[in-house]
């Protein structure tokens, strides 16, 4: 080790303390997540879809992606509209590596506040990447028809509900009114 002019043991140890205490990269940047590199399988896609839809619970208790996001491949009424449609997000956020890192520590406001204390696990991120990749290959962004379907379903449901109420209450309502009318006629 070279002799440094003016270096004393005390100064050296003070310098070492300074280096140790220096702010480094945030922990989340260092916490190298290890998501397997193996090719996605069909079952990854299936599991990813179950996680996305909330049919399979997240280990740390995060909410299902579909409550805020939709994917072109999930069909039905699609998912939520609070977050962006994720059909085309795979390549835009850097493919497997980029999106994998993104999901392990989401940098955006809503995602961060939702998942900060419910971090996704590598075994969950892999199938999610698989289902999002699959959607980017064969899905089309959900169009507004799913919104129209939602409104129609809601309206239809309301009509069915009203019809059922009418059916259930018809007898009782009429008979009460009939008795009242009879009472009126008899002048009671």
Binding site for ligand HEC (CB under 6 A): 62-63, 65, 67-69, 82-84, 86, 89, 93, 103, 108-111, 114, 120, 128
* Closest distance of CB 74 from ligand HEC, Å: 12
The residue among 62 and 139 lying less far from ligand HEC, judged by its C-beta, is: 62
In the chain, % helix, strand, coil (3-state, to 5) comes to 60, 0, 40
The residue among 92 and 177 lying less far from ligand HEC, judged by its C-beta, is: 92
For 73, the 3-state DSSP assignment is: coil
Exposed, middle or buried: residue 68 (CB in 10 Å: 0-12, 13-18, 19+)? middle
Kindly give the residue spans of alpha helices, DSSP state H, lying in 38-144. Answer: 42-53, 89-92, 95-104, 109-115, 122-138
* Closest distance of CB 118 from ligand HEC, Å: 9
Q: Could you tell me if 90 and 102 are in contact, meaning their C-beta atoms sit under 8 angstroms apart?
A: no
* Closest distance of CB 125 from ligand HEC, Å: 8
The residue among 33 and 93 lying less far from ligand HEC, judged by its C-beta, is: 93
Give the single-character DSSP code of 86: -
* Closest distance of CB 89 from ligand HEC, Å: 5
- Distances in Å between the alpha carbon of 49 and those of 8, 45, 52, 91, 97? 62, 6, 5, 18, 19
* Closest distance of CB 110 from ligand HEC, Å: 3
The residue among 13 and 108 lying less far from ligand HEC, judged by its C-beta, is: 108
The residue among 3 and 69 lying less far from ligand HEC, judged by its C-beta, is: 69
The whole-angstrom separation of Cα 143 and Cα 150 is 12
* Closest distance of CB 179 from ligand HEC, Å: 54
The residue among 83 and 122 lying less far from ligand HEC, judged by its C-beta, is: 83
Q: Could you tell me if 79 and 68 are in contact, meaning their C-beta atoms sit under 8 angstroms apart?
A: yes
């Amino acid at each position: 080790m070279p002799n440094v002019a003016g270096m004393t043991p005390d100064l050296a140890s003070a310098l070492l303390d300074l280096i140790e205490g220096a702010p480094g990269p945030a922990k989340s940047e260092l916490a190298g997540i290890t998501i397997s590199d193996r090719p996605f399988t069909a079952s990854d896609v299936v599991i990813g879809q179950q996680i996305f839809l909330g049919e399979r619970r997240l280990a740390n208790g995060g909410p299902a992606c579909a409550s805020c996001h939709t994917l072109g491949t999930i069909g039905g009424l699609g998912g939520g509209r609070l977050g962006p449609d994720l059909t085309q997000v795979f390549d835009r956020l850097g493919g497997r590596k980029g999106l994998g890192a993104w999901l392990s520590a989401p940098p955006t406001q809503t995602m961060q506040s939702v998942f900060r204390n419910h971090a996704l696990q590598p075994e969950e991120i892999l199938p999610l990447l698989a289902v999002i990749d699959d959607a980017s290959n064969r899905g089309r962004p959900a169009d507004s028809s799913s919104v129209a379907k939602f409104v129609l379903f809601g309206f239809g449901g309301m009509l069915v509900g009203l019809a059922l109420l009418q059916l259930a209450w018809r007898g009782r309502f009429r008979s009460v009114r009939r008795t009242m009318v009879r009472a009126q006629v008899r002048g009671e």
